[in-house]
Amino acid sequence: MRVLGVDPGLTRCGVGVVEGVPGRPCTLVAYYVIYTDPDDELPLRLLHLDRSLTDLVAEHRPQSVAVERVFAQHNVRTVMGTAQASGVAVLAGARAGLPVQTYTPSEVKAAVTGSGQADKAQVTSMVTRLLGLDAPPKPADAADALALAICHIWRGGTRARLAAAEAAARRGAPPRRGHAVRRGGAR
């Protein structure tokens, strides 16, 4: 299974592509950091992020996408940008017709280090070891994205298959009542 993991951020967005099967060591395919300029306007930044992620999905053809879940408790100054970036990342996977799974930071840490409270250095160290790398990923921002991809492969096997089956069933199904565009009544 090939998974593309995304650690969403507006200024720095980590992307990691990993191959493997549940319970076995994984193989690194590639990793990236997408940068956008904080001095630029939001639309331009989201557009660059969208295009870059869409290109990477097209290039690496993962079977599924894993995105870190964002919480409101995070740094308030940057959390809105991070949430918008995560929306763009989830959408990039969904637009490519792929199952997209989100994981909390604790789930990711627990999957790769055994502890949901592990610090960044511990996660980076385990990612380096689990992928059999000679040195920690550089830029370091990619380590969390690689951890997400590993987490998804190890934990997500079943969940991903279920989600894919459900998504496929839905694509063939008539529009659901819950989704609608209602046009206004006036004129």
Min dist. Cβ of residue 154 to its own copies (A): 21
Answer yes or no whether residue 23 interacts with its own copies by CB under 8 A. Answer: no
CB closer to its own copies, 31 vs 111? 31
- 109 Cβ neighbours under 8 A, 6+ residues apart: 115, 116, 117, 118, 122, 123, 147
Answer yes or no whether residue 72 interacts with its own copies by CB under 8 A. Answer: yes
DSSP for 74-131 reads S-HHHHHHHHHHHHHHHHHHHHTT--EEEE-HHHHHHHHHS-TT--HHHHHHHHHHHT
Query: Total residues contacting its own copies (rule CB under 8 A)?
Result: 66
Q: What is the DSSP letter of 10?
A: S
Answer yes or no whether residue 110 interacts with its own copies by CB under 8 A. Answer: no
Q: Is 68 annotated as a binding residue?
A: yes
Residue positions annotated with a catalytic role: 7, 68, 141
Out of 21, 25, 95, 104, the only residue in the binding site for its own copies (CB under 8 A) is 95
CB closer to its own copies, 29 vs 110? 29
Q: CA-CA distance, 25 to 130, in Å (whole number)?
A: 6
Answer yes or no whether residue 100 interacts with its own copies by CB under 8 A. Answer: yes
146 phi and psi angles, rounded to 5 deg: -65, -40
Answer yes or no whether residue 142 interacts with its own copies by CB under 8 A. Answer: yes
Q: CA-CA distance, 164 to 156, in Å (whole number)?
A: 11
List the one residue out of 9, 2, 1 whose CA is nearest residue 140.
9
CB closer to its own copies, 38 vs 114? 38
Query: Which residues contribute to the site for its own copies (CB under 8 A)?
Result: 28, 30-48, 50, 52, 55-56, 70-72, 76, 79-80, 83-88, 90-91, 93-95, 99-100, 102, 133-135, 137-139, 142, 163, 167, 170, 176-187
- Please state the residue numbers annotated as binding site for Mg(2+): 7, 68, 141
